[in-house]
Amino acid sequence: MGLDNYWKKNEGETAEIEEAEGVCAGMFTDHGQTSFRGKLYADLVEQATGVSLYQEEIPSEVIMKMADDLDAFDIREYDCEPGFDIDDKEFQSLKKMFRLHADAGHYLIGWW
C-alpha cells in the first residue's frame, strides 16, 4: 500500500512553499511544495525522528521537532530497505522541505 503526505495550513487550506522541492512525488503529489511520496521516506523519517508518517495527522509542534531531528541525523546511519536508497542530495531536499513547512507552522496529513 502506498502513502502520500500532504502539507496543510489549516483544515480547509493546503499549504504551499515553492522552495520546498526535490523530493519524490507520488501519483497525485508534487515534489514537496504541497505534498510528497511518503512511502519512500517513511522508514528514514521514522529512524531519524521516531515518528511514523503513517498517521492521519501530524501536528505542527511535532513537525517542528521532526525538522530538528532530521537536521541532526547523519544519512550515513540510515539502514534502508532495498529499493529505498536516498542519496545525500535528496536527503538535503527532505530536510529543507520539513524545515520550511515547520517554520511556516504547517501540519501533515497522511493518505494511504
Q: What pLDDT, on a 0 to 100 scale, did the predictor assign at position 83? A: 66
Q: Are 7 and 14 in contact (CB under 8 A)?
A: yes
pTM as predicted: 0.92
3 beta partners: none
Cell numbers that stand for 5 in this block: 503526505
pLDDT in tens, 45-95: 999 999 999 999 999 999 999 999 999 999 999 988 766 789 999 999 999
Q: Is the pLDDT of residue 28 over 70?
A: no
